[in-house]
Structure 1
Amino acid sequence: MKILHTSDWHLGHHLYGRRRYEEFRRFLAWLVDLIRDEGVEALIIAGDVFDSSIPGNPAQKLYYDFLRDVSASGSPCRHVVVIAGNHDSPAFLDAPAGLLSGMNIHVTGRARSPEEETFLLCGASGEPELVVSAVPFLRDRDLYRAADGDSMDERDRLMAEGMKEHYLRAAQEAERLRAGHPVPLLATGHLFAAGGVISGDDGVRDLRVGSLGQVDAGVFPAAFDYVALGHLHSAQRVHGEERLRYTGSPLPMGFDEVCRGHEVRILETQGDGIVSRGVSVPVFQRLERVEGDIAEIESRLDELSASGESVWVEALYTGSSMIADLRRRVEEHASGAVEVLRIRNARFLPEGMDADPEQDDLEELGVEAVFERRLQEAFPDAEPDDPALKELRATFREAAAAALFDEEDASCAS
């Protein structure tokens, strides 16, 4: 059986105000072709399908059009497994799950019992071929019940124990479903496995307030032959283990991700084992960071403009001289299909701003992340499940959804 592992699509993501729907459309069309060319029979999407819990109409259309195409007559793909990531709304993904299950599209938005999360995937003749434990992003409330006065260390311990128990029960259910058949076991996860690598503007949100949220790789029982992971945007193994894999995001979510390479993975079952190989994702929109003094930036922009290729640029000025008209000079050298999306001056800090390299740029945070940080500042001692916070979040999402749909409808009308 051939399986394709991908994750972190972030449909609906904007890059410094630039819409990326055409990039996503081309990626998904390429993925459909790859599935057909490779004869992929099962697709695993390991979370963060959408960039927001309230995706706009164009992002939703991309998702459902893809599911239609990959499940169409003539496609070799008989099964699709989708889990929610921390960016996704579990309720939103789960809403059409009953309908999609009739197309052999298995969706796990919210955490469920091992019996509800585990699927036996069969071949065209009905023979068992693979068992999948479709574990979504697990929130604190899915793993433990905090008590008043618990320290952060105690909560971290309870979280780790709850995570380990969840995957242990998932492995036991997978073994039960296998029922002696020589087929491999695969699990999914959307989390930050300790040993995973991030850097720069990875775009990875903290999974848990007040903690790094890292999970020891030991939570995954050895019974699983492959763990299809999502959340980190760089393709990588965890602690060098071939069976613990992140594919990373197929499109760079920021300029720091451009040079990492982006891939999906083709898995093949061999008896009761799994082997995998990476397939590089083509570049659908070139991004480039142009860095140096003003002469170096102008020279590189001239080269890019002369190429005629569509390039989105981040210009980072690192020269020692004060350039009063930096933006004008940079933009004068960006012509044709070259667009400068962001200009940063490494030597300039507005008065009163601390020179903190860890400080987040509001441009790089989504509206939900900004709202959550404001909640933390206003209610530092509140529990995550506090009813007042839930009500505030619900009101915020209603307002944000209304604004987003207004924006998308205006865009479609134009």
Structure 2
Amino acid sequence: MKLLHTADWHLGQTFHGQERHAEQRAFLDWLLETLETRRPDALLIAGDVFDVVNPSLRAQALLYDFIVAAHERLPTLDMVLIAGNHDSGNRIELPAPLLARLRTHALGRVHWLDDGRLDAERLLVPLTDASGETRAWCLALPFLRPAEVTGRRGDDDAPVDDYVGGISRVHAALIDAARARRANGQALVAMSHAHLRGAAVSEASERPIVIGGEESIPAALFPEDIAYVALGHLHRAQQVGEARIRYSGSPLPLDFSEVDYPHQVVEVTLDGERLVDLETLGVPRPVAMQRIGPAPLAQVLDELESLDDDPDLPRERWPWLEVRVELDAPAPDLRARIEAALAGKALRLLRLTRRLPQTEHETAPARVDLETLGPRKLFERTWQARWDAPPDDTVLADFDRLCQDVLDGQQDAGELDR
């Protein structure tokens, strides 16, 4: 049988304040065409379906429209989706009874029985072929929050207080239940949203999965009789130790640091209980991303002037642009100069960063009373510390005007309050 593994859609994500609905819709349209062409038996979506726990109605419509369309095109397709750390488990499960009629299994949380054991049966999803025969079992394990797995008693009746220990207990219980359920010739496929030890993380876009503690889990949690492990959470597509343990990665770059990643879905072929083939399918990028720099301002301006663009593109398809400038002196008009270089180009400047010169480390200044120092003098000190020179009269005049604007705004607000 064939499976398609994807994860980390982050539907509803805004990119530096800009919505990405057109890009996400284009990916889902491509995925529908890919399903129809490749005709897998199951689609596995390994968490972070949405970008936030309270996604917009538009983001939810993207998901549910996709599920309906996929079922209409491939009526025998099994779809399994789990909640990630960006998702609300309850929200993912809310439409589960309706989704089940579309052969879609939505798992958002783990449940515990009255005797303290994991309710593993609800996390076991049969994966069937076109004839309706069960060929594999999906161990669909949504993201585990610490409160769900700690403070409960283990097999030795001792409470499990550490996060990784609680996760290990859940995995062991689920794998035992799957082994007991499957028949000869049926494969076991684990799906989890987690950070595996040794995997490569993104530079900037991945939210820590657990705040304030050890979060990575060992790949040894997945024994050899698990034919394939479909992982979500890390945006870089990669295998962890073995080819059978794999992050599909996000289908779209979620930060400029991910521009050079291969964005893909993974096609998995099973023969009986064994993994026999893997193929990565590259996802077309509906909106280009470009990074300029880091480089000195003159070089950046030259590169911006020479950038190619396509004025016939609709605005929602204009490339996203990040500009990184190395400064060796103050440039108060930096943004204006960058925008002037981009005037008339079909590009969207989303991020402008400045790399300031390194100054020699100095001893901490003596404590000062901010109230007696005043904002102007504090500004002068800060400028001097950063640029190793005092601000000139033009800069100070600009600062005074800004302070006056703030004071005027506060006064106007007070008049409205009265």
- In the superposition, the TM-score normalised over structure 1's length comes to 0.79
- 2:92 equivalent in structure 1: 93
Partners of 2:152 and 2:255 in 1: how far apart? 36
Partners of 1:90 and 1:183 in 2: how far apart? 29
Partners of 2:152 and 2:104 in 1: how far apart? 35
Partners of 1:120 and 1:129 in 2: how far apart? 8
Q: Deviations over 1:309-365 (max 9, x none)?
A: 62211110024343231101111111321111111111179949x99xxxxxxxxxx
Please tell me the residue identity of whatever aligns with 1:344.
T
- 2:228 equivalent in structure 1: 226
Report the 3-state secondary structure (helix = DSSP H, G, I; strand = E; otherwise coil) of the residue aligned with 1:227.
Answer: strand
Partners of 2:47 and 2:197 in 1: how far apart? 18
Report the 3-state secondary structure (helix = DSSP H, G, I; strand = E; otherwise coil) of the residue aligned with 1:251.
Answer: coil
- 1:318 equivalent in structure 2: 326
- 2:5 equivalent in structure 1: 5
Please tell me the residue identity of whatever aligns with 2:188.
L
- 1:31 equivalent in structure 2: 31
**Does structure 2 conserve the Cα–Cα contact (< 8 Å) formed by 1:5 and 1:247?**
yes
**Does structure 2 conserve the Cα–Cα contact (< 8 Å) formed by 1:40 and 1:77?**
no
Partners of 2:80 and 2:239 in 1: how far apart? 21
**Does structure 2 conserve the Cα–Cα contact (< 8 Å) formed by 1:39 and 1:76?**
no
- 1:392 equivalent in structure 2: none
The range that moved more, 304-313 or 211-220, is 304-313
Change (3 A) 1:228 1:348: same
Q: Deviations over 1:173-221 (max 9, x none)?
A: 22222122x12110111111000111321x1111112114111111223
Report the 3-state secondary structure (helix = DSSP H, G, I; strand = E; otherwise coil) of the residue aligned with 1:133.
Answer: strand
Please tell me the residue identity of whatever aligns with 2:337.
R
Please tell me the residue identity of whatever aligns with 2:121.
E
Rg larger in 1 or in 2? 2
The range that moved more, 264-273 or 43-52, is 264-273
Please tell me the residue identity of whatever aligns with 2:255.
G
Partners of 1:242 and 1:332 in 2: how far apart? 49
Please tell me the residue identity of whatever aligns with 2:296.
D
Structure 2: gaps spanning 5 or more residues: 112-118, 154-158, 359-378, 387-418
1:197 to 181, 196, 200: 200
- 1:390 equivalent in structure 2: none
Report the 3-state secondary structure (helix = DSSP H, G, I; strand = E; otherwise coil) of the residue aligned with 1:111.
Answer: coil
Query: Is 1:62 aligned to residue 68 of structure 2?
Result: no
Report the 3-state secondary structure (helix = DSSP H, G, I; strand = E; otherwise coil) of the residue aligned with 2:37.
Answer: helix
Please tell me the residue identity of whatever aligns with 1:161.
G
Please tell me the residue identity of whatever aligns with 1:40.
P
Query: Is 1:168 aligned to residue 172 of structure 2?
Result: yes
- 2:369 equivalent in structure 1: none
Cα distance, 1:306 vs structure 2: 4.7
- 2:48 equivalent in structure 1: 48
Cα distance, 1:123 vs structure 2: 2.2
Matches within 5 A, 1:8-19: 8-19=8-19
Matches within 5 A, 1:266-277: 266-274=267-275, 275-277=277-279
- 2:245 equivalent in structure 1: 244
1:343 to 333, 352, 368: 352
Partners of 1:230 and 1:186 in 2: how far apart? 14
Please tell me the residue identity of whatever aligns with 1:165.
R
Partners of 2:166 and 2:103 in 1: how far apart? 30
**Does structure 2 conserve the Cα–Cα contact (< 8 Å) formed by 1:35 and 1:77?**
no
**Does structure 1 conserve the Cα–Cα contact (< 8 Å) formed by 2:327 and 2:357?**
no
Aligned length: 344
Report the 3-state secondary structure (helix = DSSP H, G, I; strand = E; otherwise coil) of the residue aligned with 1:24.
Answer: helix
Q: Deviations over 1:85-137 (max 9, x none)?
A: 00000111111101111221011011132111001222232322111010000
**Does structure 1 conserve the Cα–Cα contact (< 8 Å) formed by 2:186 and 2:272?**
yes
Structure 1: gaps spanning 5 or more residues: 148-154, 356-414
Report the 3-state secondary structure (helix = DSSP H, G, I; strand = E; otherwise coil) of the residue aligned with 2:125.
Answer: strand
Cα distance, 1:146 vs structure 2: 7.9
Query: Is 1:294 aligned to residue 297 of structure 2?
Result: yes
Cα distance, 1:305 vs structure 2: 4.5
Cα distance, 1:76 vs structure 2: 6.2
Query: Is 1:328 aligned to residue 336 of structure 2?
Result: yes
Change (3 A) 1:338 1:229: same
Partners of 1:177 and 1:213 in 2: how far apart? 30
- 2:137 equivalent in structure 1: 131
Partners of 1:306 and 1:58 in 2: how far apart? 29
Partners of 2:95 and 2:125 in 1: how far apart? 18
**Does structure 2 conserve the Cα–Cα contact (< 8 Å) formed by 1:164 and 1:220?**
no
Partners of 1:298 and 1:184 in 2: how far apart? 57
Q: Deviations over 1:213-238 (max 9, x none)?
A: 11111122322111100000100111
Cα distance, 1:161 vs structure 2: 2.1
- In the superposition, the TM-score normalised over structure 2's length comes to 0.78
Cα distance, 1:298 vs structure 2: 1.5
Partners of 1:331 and 1:103 in 2: how far apart? 49
Change (3 A) 1:325 1:53: same
Partners of 2:357 and 2:339 in 1: how far apart? 18
Report the 3-state secondary structure (helix = DSSP H, G, I; strand = E; otherwise coil) of the residue aligned with 1:214.
Answer: coil
**Does structure 2 conserve the Cα–Cα contact (< 8 Å) formed by 1:94 and 1:107?**
yes
Report the 3-state secondary structure (helix = DSSP H, G, I; strand = E; otherwise coil) of the residue aligned with 2:284.
Answer: coil
**Does structure 1 conserve the Cα–Cα contact (< 8 Å) formed by 2:187 and 2:227?**
yes
What is the CA RMSD across the aligned residues, in angstroms? 2.3
Change (3 A) 1:32 1:89: same
